[in-house]
Structure 1
């Protein structure tokens, strides 16, 4: 039995065979009813249904792109009805690690300890967090483990895995051009703190805004002062706009090898943050293959005061092209940034905690 919402969502499905189109709708209805279960469990142990699902996925006509395409078409329709759309993007590890024999075609995720694929989707939400759907997604497999940082620095961005952040940011700009009646806000985490991504704003349409969580304590400059000052020091010298109390949820440590403070475990609690905001000019970094120009951005810094001993303080350094003149404008930036965590919630519940090979067991 095909669900009504599946018929509507996959209206534009066309994989070149009507029987495959119908089978895709049937399998999606079956698996959507119990998304965390394996394929046989979703089929309630039915041999025919399980076999049909495996045959569908093994068909050469069925690929990542054409399965996702009708959903993307439906997402664009929903986006066109919105005054504001928050476009969040992030990279998720699809863990296919098996206890003994590894899945054929899976690549390394962190050295040779875990294996799988990497997925970088651009997902649209309303300002209240309602998902509109996926607008694009890149899926790839590493051929080898991550290279050393000093080696990666010498490569042009076009040869780095981090190119996905720039390409997805530009795709969001193109969406804004295609839908001028909708304000598009692209939101990304600290991995997107890449100067080429920040600098890409120079070609943005008027209805395109962006927010990127800062990762680096970048150098800032002023016209009347040849000496640079680091971003955090500059913001700390500015006035506190206001303080607010926010509720933060506890989190578990994702990977034992991850020593970054922002990824350490945390208890749920109420915390008080000081909020600062101002416009700054970022000094362009050196690139061995090109010359970049200094660029001006707005920055919102929310930093926790009096954090409990032994816990990591809340610290959000948000780079943006949105205005920061008033408290209301700053609050809007903070609220839009929080929508990005909807993607991480999905990753934590599915891709990050459940090895995907179990879904086919």
Structure 2
């Protein structure tokens, strides 16, 4: 938050204080996270103040993420949308819109872009948009009659513009999206050199040139360029595994959609297409992994195809970020008066959710780093003392990141057995909350000792 500009130094310090309090107890309600009446009153006052700009808070975090990216040749940006259900049709919260479905839920939609290293360590949220939908009846049946700028899907294009303007030009940026991002205008929009798109295909598309046919047939007829392996994370529908994938790749030119409004202003777009299909590692009862990925990266063979697939495989990190926001930080449980206050709270919890994700994945990618990369000195010392059932003296050197993260997760219920693998973000946020309680106690003990 070093670059945060709110026009009042006291407001800036209040926002930083709120982030610290929310980080210390991410699952708690605002009063419980604040811990006392004075901090609670100040927090609600800040969330109610128009002087506290959610956009400025997001930009300060994004600028810090951009500084972290400066040391890398290439970074990945994963974008996705999610919904925050904040009440039903009887809710008194102002500024909400319909969420869809039959439950009558009302809330807000959030489109986030999470930047990470190519190894998957999150560097921060570099773009985020928040909006409430209009009532469905007002726009029903008008989708084909609206320009891209009038649709929710325009947010995918706006994210590319935001990322281009934020990140250093010497850093390559590969921006990925799921099937919702399969938008012709996204591939056709101008981009600076070094900014590439990696998008999972969902639409059948006509290819340019007489006799060239359609996308799916062209990819099916493309040559197999090799085989690769990719890590598949656990989900509700599948087990975690390393999948063996057959890889096909080709270069095609996409025609603008035939019935597209404004087709006359669009030109054909040349892209590469990579199709991977799981062959030998499909568990019984599960569907094989199969992705068709459209990319602006020039793919000439297996090496480039593998880079594209690995970049797309990191896309689920932004889904994990949204999960932490909703389940770990309790965004949908906040009791605030209107959507503006929710958006300000969301801007603060962005930092909290990112820090939890960062600790989780840096421990996997760089486990031998000293834990001071993710913890303050008094935090790791408190952790070392309470992380053992036996009394022990503090070491001369701090533990590694992996050791510290496992100790935090064990405070949150992680067993640490050989078959358990590395801890997940859920046990980490529970353990981190307990660690912050211990750290606060240590700080107050040291303060009382020095005063005595």
Cα distance in structure 2, aligned partners of 1:352 and 1:228: 48
In structure 2, runs of 5+ residues without a counterpart are: 337-452
Matches within 5 A, 1:75-154: 75-97=65-87, 101-111=91-101, 113=103, 114-145=105-136, 150-154=141-145
Cα distance in structure 2, aligned partners of 1:244 and 1:346: 27
Higher strand share: 1
**RMSD in angstroms over aligned alpha carbons?**
2.5
Cα distance in structure 2, aligned partners of 1:355 and 1:111: 22
Deviations, residues 131-161 of structure 1 (Å, cap 9, x unaligned): 2212222111112138778531221111111
Aligned to 1:261: none
Q: 1:199 aligns with which of 188, 213, 223?
A: 188
Aligned to 1:319: 294
Matches within 5 A, 1:156-235: 156-175=147-166, 179-200=168-189, 203-222=190-209, 226-235=210-219
Secondary structure in 2 matching 1:328: helix
Distance 1:308 1:151, change over 3 A: farther
TM-score (norm 1): 0.83
Aligned to 1:282: 254
1:247, CA displacement in angstroms? 4.1
Contact kept, 8 Å, 2:6 with 2:53, in 1: the verdict is no
1:325, CA displacement in angstroms? 1.6
Cα distance in structure 1, aligned partners of 2:116 and 2:240: 25
Deviations, residues 12-65 of structure 1 (Å, cap 9, x unaligned): 222122221111111110001222222122124x22222221111111211311
Aligned to 2:222: 238
In structure 1, runs of 5+ residues without a counterpart are: 1-9, 253-264
Deviations, residues 316-361 of structure 1 (Å, cap 9, x unaligned): 1111121222322111111111222110111233337986342449
Cα distance in structure 1, aligned partners of 2:137 and 2:201: 22
Structure with larger Rg: 2
Secondary structure in 2 matching 1:93: strand
Secondary structure in 1 matching 2:213: strand
Higher helix share: 2
1:289, CA displacement in angstroms? 3.2
Secondary structure in 1 matching 2:62: helix
Deviations, residues 61-91 of structure 1 (Å, cap 9, x unaligned): 1131122232122122222232112122111
TM-score (norm 2): 0.67
Cα distance in structure 1, aligned partners of 2:4 and 2:88: 33
Cα distance in structure 2, aligned partners of 1:101 and 1:115: 8
Answer yes or no: is 1:24 the counterpart of 2:15.
Answer: yes
Cα distance in structure 1, aligned partners of 2:88 and 2:331: 9
Secondary structure in 1 matching 2:253: strand
Answer yes or no: is 1:344 the counterpart of 2:319.
Answer: yes
Answer yes or no: is 1:51 the counterpart of 2:41.
Answer: yes
